[in-house]
């Protein structure tokens, strides 16, 4: 039976025809702009050029005079731990371990240890539990979710609110179900919406009652020093709060200098309570005889102290802040009131764009046809399932500002077209 026209507002076919025509014109322009991942721009990498010449052919002596070229130093040199522990994790140097380059690899290692051996307070390895579940605040970082999926950990999405995960939901879930072993947290400038956790949320996470004795908070502070404004939100002391609540081994912290210097050539940092650090080192000692201390010295010489990190990140801010303003401005110009919402983050690498419900996938598809590659819709959700199909992650860092303005205008056009197509299809059902 042919579909029936229902309540078609006179303006809608016109809007659809106009947007379709504009989309055809953009498709003919042959754009090719990739905004799929949040990687640093070449100008940011240029800021660290001097790093490449360090520590130099005769610069391999550590502060205590030992030879950084040789094996050893499982926890990392004291001078590099003193440099990075505070700014990246808000911990004292004794409570961190320097890894290789990637914090994601450390998260993989932590989950592997938990599954094979158990956490410090586990009754048995997680792999011997009937099931293991993690709370995943959404929208969130897709690679956290891939780790869970890869390890067979069931994911429970919980909304990420303006000040952190919806704690009423989190507390109810973890109190009731001993299979819930952990939660992912990106506490400062979350990926993708730029949320900063409040002190109240952090205190509740640290102290909440959990049915699992070995419940663990995976605290990924990937964007600790990646500010876009003059504001400097402090690293909240979740380890101290957990210890005060009698839960000192609850928190596993991760960060890296991947997006401070060079991805792949930075340093990853693990942190936690003294006994969590012992647990980590015990398992680490089977895996490596010592990390790359020359890279550790390179970091110490390049930054000098925490003020050096601050100066370097201010220079990065000057590159990045105009790009985030550009996204805000172009979306403001191209979306009518109420047609979309987007975040205006104070730091981090992403903007989250909320389009009309049911339109995110179609928007990404239309953008691809127009030569703009975006992160797949659904990626910021466990199993790629965005129940409302309305969230798109925008990664403005790696494209030049001219291309970025063009790309955002095209994304807005595609979102408006997707909404018009949906409205018109609805009218014909």
Ligand X SMILES: Cc1ncc(COP(=O)(O)O)c(C=O)c1O
Contact footprint for ligand X (CB under 6 A): 38, 102-104, 141, 186, 191, 220, 222, 256, 258, 263, 268
**Residue 186 or 300 having the CB closest to ligand X:** 186
Residue 192: is the preceding peptide bond cis (ω within 30°)?
yes
Taking the complex as a whole, how short is the minimal distance between the CB of residue 38 and ligand X, in angstroms?
5
Cα distance between residue 358 and residue 99, in whole Å: 42
- Of 220 and 249, nearer to ligand X (C-beta) is 220
User: What phi, psi does 152 have (nearest 5°)?
Assistant: 75, 25
| 342 phi/psi in degrees, rounded to 5 | -145, 155
Lookup result for tokens 């975006």:
374
Rounded least distance, CB 197 to ligand X, Å: 13
Contact between residue 401 and residue 326 where contact means Cβ atoms under 8 Å apart: yes
The candidate with the shortest Cα–Cα distance to 54, out of 304, 262, 263, 301, is 301
Taking the complex as a whole, how short is the minimal distance between the CB of residue 37 and ligand X, in angstroms? 7
Name which of 240 and 263 has its Cβ closer to ligand X: 263
Cβ-based nearer residue to ligand X, 120 or 194: 194
Contact 296, 115 (CB under 8 A): no
Q: 327 and 334 in contact (C-beta within 8 Å)?
A: no
Measured N-to-C along each axis, helices 401-427 and 306-334 cross at an angle, to the nearest 10 degrees, of: 40
Q: How far is CA 427 from CA 1, 3, 413, in A?
A: 15, 9, 21
Nearest residue (CB) to ligand X, 5 versus 42: 42
Residue 331 vs residues 195, 326, 370, 407: alpha-carbon distances, Å: 20, 8, 17, 10
Considering the complex, state which of residue 263 and residue 308 has its C-beta at the smaller distance from ligand X.
Answer: 263
In SS3 terms, 205-257 reads as HHHCCCCCCCCEEEEECCCCCCECCCCCCCCCCHHHHHHHCCCHHHEEEEEEC
Closest by Cα among 115, 109, 120, 108 to 132: 115
DSSP 3-state assignment of 140?
coil
How many of the other CB atoms lie within 10 Å of CB of 326?
A: 18
Smallest gap from residue 6 Cβ to ligand X (A): 44
User: Closest approach of Cβ 393 to ligand X, in Å?
Assistant: 10
- Shortest Å, Cβ 245 to ligand X: 25
CB of 14 to ligand X, least distance (A): 42
Nearer to ligand X among residue 141 and residue 270 (C-beta): 141
Closest separation between CB of residue 191 and ligand X, Å? 4
Minimum separation from the CB atom of position 98 to ligand X (A): 12
User: Strand 33-35 to strand 372-374: parallel, antiparallel, or no bridges (unpaired)?
Assistant: parallel
Question: Considering beta carbons, is residue 23 or 227 the nearer one to ligand X?
Answer: 227
Rounded to whole angstroms, the Cα distance separating 357 from 329 reads 23
CB-nearer residue toward ligand X: 295 or 406:
295
CB of 101 or CB of 416, closer to ligand X: 101
Least Cβ distance, residue 102 to ligand X (angstroms)? 4
């Amino acid at each position: 039976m042919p579909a029936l026209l229902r309540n078609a507002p006179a303006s809608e076919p016109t809007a659809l025809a106009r947007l379709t025509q504009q989309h055809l014109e953009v498709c003919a322009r042959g754009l090719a702009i990739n905004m799929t991942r949040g990687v640093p721009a070449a100008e940011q990498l240029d800021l660290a050029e001097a790093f490449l010449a360090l520590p130099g052919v005769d610069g391999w002596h550590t502060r205590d005079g030992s030879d950084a070229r040789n094996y050893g130093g499982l926890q990392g040199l004291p001078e590099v731990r003193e440099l990075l522990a505070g700014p990246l994790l808000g911990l004292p140097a004794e409570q961190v371990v320097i890894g290789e380059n990637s914090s994601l690899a450390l998260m993989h290692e932590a989950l592997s240890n938990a599954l094979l051996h158990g956490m410090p307070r586990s009754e048995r390895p997680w792999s011997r539990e009937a099931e293991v579940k993690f709370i995943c605040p959404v929208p969130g970082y897709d690679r956290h979710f891939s780790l869970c999926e890869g390890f067979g950990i069931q994911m429970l999405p919980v909304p990420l609110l303006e000040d952190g995960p919806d704690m009423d939901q989190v507390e109810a879930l973890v109190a009731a179900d001993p299979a819930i072993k952990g939660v992912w947290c990106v506490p400062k400038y979350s990926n993708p919406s730029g949320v900063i956790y409040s002190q109240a949320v952090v205190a509740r996470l640290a102290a909440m009652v959990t049915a699992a004795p070995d419940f663990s908070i995976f605290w990924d502070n990937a964007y600790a020093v990646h500010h876009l404004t003059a504001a400097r939100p402090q690293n909240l002391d979740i380890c101290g709060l957990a210890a005060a609540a009698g839960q000192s081994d609850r928190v596993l912290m991760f960060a890296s200098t991947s997006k401070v210097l060079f991805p792949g050539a930075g340093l990853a940092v693990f942190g936690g309570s003294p006994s969590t650090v012992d647990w980590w080192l015990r398992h680490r000692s089977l895996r490596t005889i010592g990390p790359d201390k020359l890279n550790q010295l390179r970091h110490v010489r390049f930054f000098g102290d925490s003020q050096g990190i601050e100066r370097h990140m201010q220079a990065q801010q000057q590159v990045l802040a105009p790009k985030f303003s550009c996204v805000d401005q172009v979306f403001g110009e191209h979306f009518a009131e109420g047609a979309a919402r987007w975040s205006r983050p104070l730091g981090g690498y992403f903007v989250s764009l909320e389009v009309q419900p049911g339109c995110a996938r179609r928007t990404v598809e239309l953008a691809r046809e127009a030569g703009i590659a975006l992160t797949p819709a659904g990626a910021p959700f466990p199993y790629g399932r965005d129940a409302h199909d309305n969230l798109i992650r925008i990664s403005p860092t790696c494209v030049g500002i001219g291309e970025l303005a063009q790309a955002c205008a095209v994304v807005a056009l595609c979102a408006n077209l997707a909404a018009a197509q949906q409205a018109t299809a609805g009218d014909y059902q």
